[in-house]
Amino acid sequence: MTIQAPSSTIQLAHELPERLRLRVSWLSDRRLDRFALEAALLSLAGVRGVRVNPRAGSAIVRYDGQMHHRQAILLWFQQSPAAFLTESNPATHRAAPDLLRVFSALAGLLLLPALAPPLRRGLTYALIAPTVWEGTRTLSRKGLKIEVLDSLAVSLAAARGEYFTAIATQGLLALGAYLEQHTARHADDLLRHLLKPMPTQAWVERDGGLVQIPCGELRAGDRIEVGPGEMIPIDGKVVGGNAAVNQASVTGENLAVRKEVGDKVLSGTVLEGGRLRIRATRVGAETTTARIARFIENALQQQSQTQCLAEHLADRRVYLTLGTGALVYAATRDLDRLASVFLVDYACALKLGTPVAIKSALYQGAKHGVLFRGSQAIDSLAQADTFVFDKTGTLTSGLLEVTDVCSLDAAWDAPRLLALVASIEEHATHPVADAVVKQARQQHLAHIEHEDVDYLVAHGLTTQTEGRCVAIGSRHFLETHRNVSFAAHEENIAALEQAGKTLLYVALEQRPLGLIGLRDSLRPEAQAVLTQLRQGGVRRLVLLTGDRQDKAEALARELGMDEVYAECPPERKAAVVEELRAQGAKVAFIGDGVNDAPALIAADVGLAMPRGADLARATADIVLLDEHLRTLLTARTLSAGTLELIRTHFRISTGVNTMVIAGAAFGLLSPVWSALLHNGMTLGVLLNSIAGVRLGTDSLSHPSNPGGS
């Protein structure tokens, strides 16, 4: 059966009741992003599994057997392939594992006894030719690497007429390479398959009704409707309805969360029941799901110091193997022993196991609500010995509530003041703004019209209403930048601060207009998390806060902090981090606000909380997607455990390979046994790397001590 497509010919090569095998010309295109293609196919109704083979230009699709789903799959392949052809990082197009060399070597071993000597020699040279060519090419382009030693080993056996040994060694090398490629590819697959396919269409309000449009045409401010079983395509706020939303794709938490008017929702989450009307705040590349995709893409491209060090040590150990072989041959003049030594490679387990372990950690992190920007973030968090916490939104819940609305102008009563501030703050995304807007909605206050809002990062908002200038923000902002003095209201301010309130200051036309008091609560898990961090090897816990000294010190004592920096203005946070680093500390900074961005950058590793401002999340090395502080322990456990796993593999590979070299040097191991033992050990390291760090209850309670680097 042949289906004519606009850009190619599609051939149904084979069919079973719930399985289709299709051949499509563009599937063999070297630019094909196999992962994106498979993810898109998996989003089709009824599709249960997909496997694409670019080498054969074919795809196998398993589905539920229903005819209308079968027809949808066939029609899907008629679309233009342009969306899946990309010139991206070559790492995304890793060569497919090849078993042909393994089967060729096996067939050669079976044929060998039946052939005359000249044919045996010809068959052997033909089978080992790819390894010899690879060794020659590597030597000319990259210098002395393990491929050169493999080439020498099989060449020595073939030159001595030991054809069985040469072919058997070639087969073991090919099998080892296949398993290594397969495992490394699986590590990439794990990460890529976190990139959930997003819906392509959305129901959006237009002229009082609902129309379906492509998601690419959505704009911030659009109101969309999402029903049961549907995925939310944008980040936004609920403006109507209520529903149970499964956020597992973003936070790793499988329990559905109730969402109603005023709540935020994230792209990639799915409605399990109910219906929501949502006002879009972020669309397209700005959504949470798109950012996760960028994090994963970055993670696949970056190398950490540990990874670079592993490759450096692995390359140096090639010279160790070569030198040992030279000494063995000088002492014994035995080419078999020399070949056996050359087949022992310290490099494989180090160069392959390390990136696989790191990718496994990236995958585990994303599954449990932790986004590492790259492998360097894992290194830095594992080695951090000083954790600096910005209080609001990190140690506290960040879910502020308005407790006081104090008008300082007789012409403005409290409800009108709150309505004005809420009308302006609804354009911001800070927890203070959310609390004020929520309170105004609960009181059903009317919106007050105003001009465009100017946002001064880390300070406040200004706008015009009825021709008069309104400024909202911190006291520092209004007094220093707007020249509005609140000294006459010092008594009111002191009373609110004594009660532990966070204050929002409001000015109208260069004079004080009002104060809004908000209260935050300490996270119930904060003390336990800090204790577990200290048990896990963290030496210093530091608190940064804008609170007064006495209040800050009381909180620090309650939490068992080592140091506290009180009355700390936004611009001071980065300076504190720099001071700690100058003292020799390896600093992890945890924050969530716009004013935390400089400190996040200044730290060895910056972590942003999920409710954090856009700038904080953009500058952080690690973004926590789950609001609970246990996610911080997960991140620490994963990073420290991964570095310990890499060190363990280094010790194992060094010990086992040294024993195999010793056995080869003393003539106890033939080349075949050397290759078998070495490749077996390498495979064990790779499998253990892809299994990664186990995140059980115990590991979350007691993160590993990262020790030294």
Length of the chain as a residue count: 709
Class of domain 201-289: mainly beta
Q: Which amino acid is at 68?
A: H
State mean pLDDT over 624-652. Answer: 87
Q: How confident is the model at residue 91 (pLDDT cuts 50, 70, 90)?
A: very low
Residues 611, 394: Cα–Cα separation, whole Å: 9
Nearest to 594 by CA among 620, 632, 629: 620
pLDDT of residue 588: 94
Indicate whether 504 pLDDT > 70.
yes
What is the mean pLDDT of the segment spanning 266-280?
84
Q: How far apart are the first and last CA of the chain?
A: 60
pTM attached to this predicted model = 0.59
pLDDT at 387: 96
Which residue would you say has higher pLDDT here, 684 or 351?
A: 684
In which element (H, E) is residue 379 found?
A: helix 375-383
- The set of long-range contacts for 162-166, using a CB threshold of 8 Å and a minimum separation of 24, is 162/336, 163/112, 163/120, 163/121, 163/123, 163/124, 164/109, 164/112, 165/336, 165/339, 165/670, 165/671, 165/672, 166/124, 166/127, 166/128
Residue 469 confidence (pLDDT): 94
The predicted model gives 305-329 an average pLDDT of: 67
Average pLDDT over residues 94-119: 78
pLDDT reported for residue 698: 42
CA distance 426 to 447: 10
What's the pLDDT score for residue 493?
92
| 143 — pLDDT class (breaks 50, 70, 90) | confident
- Tell me the average pLDDT across 361-370: 81
Predicted confidence at residue 348, as pLDDT, reads: 63
Give CA–CA dist 300/260, Å, rounded: 37
Q: Measured between alpha carbons, how far is 280 from 216 in angstroms, rounded to an integer?
A: 13
Residue 146 confidence class, pLDDT cut points 50, 70, 90: low
How much of the chain exceeds pLDDT 90, in percent?
A: 18
Nearest to 345 by CA among 318, 327, 307: 318
Residue whose structure tokens are 């509530």: 401
Q: Give the residue-averaged pLDDT of 610-626.
A: 68
The per-residue pLDDT for range 382-426, each reduced to its tens digit, is 999 999 998 877 888 767 889 999 999 999 999 999 999 999 998
Q: Which of 33, 336, 390, 596 is catalytic?
A: 390
* Fold assignment, 2-87: Alpha-Beta Plaits (3.30.70)
Q: According to the model, what pLDDT value does residue 512 have?
A: 95
The confidence score (pLDDT) of residue 484 equals 93
Hey, what long-range contacts does 461-465 have (CB within 8 A, 24 or more apart)? 461/424, 461/425, 461/427, 461/428, 463/424, 465/420
pLDDT at 251 over 60: no
Q: Which CATH architecture has domain 401-519?
A: 3-Layer(aba) Sandwich (3.40)
- Where does the pLDDT of residue 249 fall: very low under 50, low under 70, confident under 90, or very high at 90 and above? low
pLDDT at 613: 52
For residue 620, pLDDT beyond 50: yes
Mean pLDDT score, 451-473: 86
Is a pLDDT exceeding 50 seen at residue 157?
yes
- Helix, strand, or coil (residue 692): coil
The 10 Å Cβ neighbour count of residue 57 is 19
Residue 239 has pLDDT above 80, yes or no: yes
Distance CA 619, CA 623 (A): 9
Find out whether 511 and 411 touch, Cβ atoms under 8 Å. no
Query: Does residue 455 carry a pLDDT above 90?
Result: no
pLDDT at 700: 41
Query: How is 516-560 classified by DSSP, letter by letter?
Result: EEEE--B-TTHHHHHHHHHHTT--EEEEE-SS-HHHHHHHHHHHT
Per-residue pLDDT for 336 more than 70?
Answer: yes
Q: Please state the domain extents for the chain.
A: 2-87, 100-190+299-358+639-701, 201-289, 401-519
| Res 701: pLDDT | 40
Report the share of the chain in percent with pLDDT over 70.
78
How high is the pLDDT of residue 195?
Answer: 54
pLDDT, residue 94, reads 47
Beta strands 235-246 and 270-282 are antiparallel
Is the separation of the CB atoms in 44 and 73 below 8 Å?
yes
**What are 386's two structure tokens?**
């000083």
Of 440 and 261, the one with more pLDDT:
440
Instruction: Name the band, by pLDDT with cuts 50, 70 and 90, for residue 202.
Output: confident
Q: pLDDT at position 514, please?
A: 95
Query: Phi/psi of residue 695, each to 5°?
Result: -105, 65
Above 70 in pLDDT, residue 593? no
Is pLDDT of 234 > 90?
no
pLDDT number for residue 166: 76
pLDDT at 508: 94
390 in active site: yes
Task: Confirm if 243 and 275 have CB atoms less than 8 A apart.
Answer: yes
Q: What is the pLDDT of residues 512-564, one digit of tens each?
A: 999 999 887 788 899 999 999 999 889 999 998 877 787 788 888 889 999 99
The pLDDT, as a whole number, for residue 515 is: 96
Look at residue 341 and tell me whether its pLDDT is greater than 50.
yes
Predicted pLDDT of residue 661? 82
